[in-house]
Amino acid sequence: MWQFFHKLGSPKWFYGIAARLMPWLLVLGLLCLGAGLVWGLAFAPKDYLQGNSYRIIFIHVPSAFLAQSVYIMMASAAVVTLVWRMKLADVFVKAAAPVGLVLTFISLFTGAVWGKPTWGTWWIWDARLTSMLILLFLYGGVIALDRAINDEKSAARAVAILVLVGVVNIPIIKYSVDWWNTLHQPATFKLTEKPSMPAEMWVPLLLSVIGLYLLFGWLACLRMQTEILIREQRTRWVQDLFHVNGGAR
Partner 1 sequence: MMIKPLDQAVGSIDAMKAVFARDMKVAFRQRQDLLNPLLFFMMVVTLFPLGVSPEISFLQEAGAGILWVAALLSVLLSLDHLFRHDFDDGTLEQLVLQPQPLFLLVLAKTMAHWVLTGLPLVLLTPVLGVMVHLDGNSIAILCLTLLIGTPVLSLIGAIGAALTLGLRSAGVLLSLLIIPLYIPVLIFGTGTVAAAAEGAPVGAYLALLGAFLVLALTLAPFASAAALKVSLSNS
Residues forming the site for partner 1 (CB under 8 A): 82, 134, 137-138, 140-141, 144-145, 148-149, 151, 153-154, 157-158, 161-162, 164-166, 168-169, 172-173, 176-177, 179-180, 183-184
| Inter-residue contact 161 to 141 (CB < 8 Å) | no
Shortest distance in whole angstroms from residue 173 CB to partner 1 = 6
Shortest distance in whole angstroms from residue 232 CB to partner 1 = 22
Instruction: Name, in order, each residue with C-beta under 8 angstroms of 197's C-beta and a sequence gap of 6 or more.
Output: 205
Q: Please, which residues bridge with residue 51 across strands?
A: 47
162: nearest Cα among 94, 247, 112: 94
Shortest distance in whole angstroms from residue 176 CB to partner 1 = 4
Q: How far apart are CA 80 and CA 102, in angstroms?
A: 24
Shortest distance in whole angstroms from residue 98 CB to partner 1 = 15
Q: How far apart are CA 161 and CA 142, in angstroms?
A: 10
Nearer of residues 164 and 222 to partner 1, judged by Cβ = 164
Backbone angles phi, psi at 77, to 5 degrees: -65, -35
Nearer of residues 118 and 176 to partner 1, judged by Cβ = 176
Give 234: exposed, middle or buried? Use CB within 10 Å, 0-12, 13-18, 19+.
exposed
| Inter-residue contact 8 to 14 (CB < 8 Å) | yes
Nearer of residues 10 and 176 to partner 1, judged by Cβ = 176
| Inter-residue contact 139 to 128 (CB < 8 Å) | no
Nearer of residues 1 and 148 to partner 1, judged by Cβ = 148
Nearer of residues 108 and 238 to partner 1, judged by Cβ = 108
Shortest distance in whole angstroms from residue 157 CB to partner 1 = 5
Nearer of residues 107 and 208 to partner 1, judged by Cβ = 107
Give 112: exposed, middle or buried? Use CB within 10 Å, 0-12, 13-18, 19+.
middle
AA identity, residue 186 = P
Shortest distance in whole angstroms from residue 89 CB to partner 1 = 15
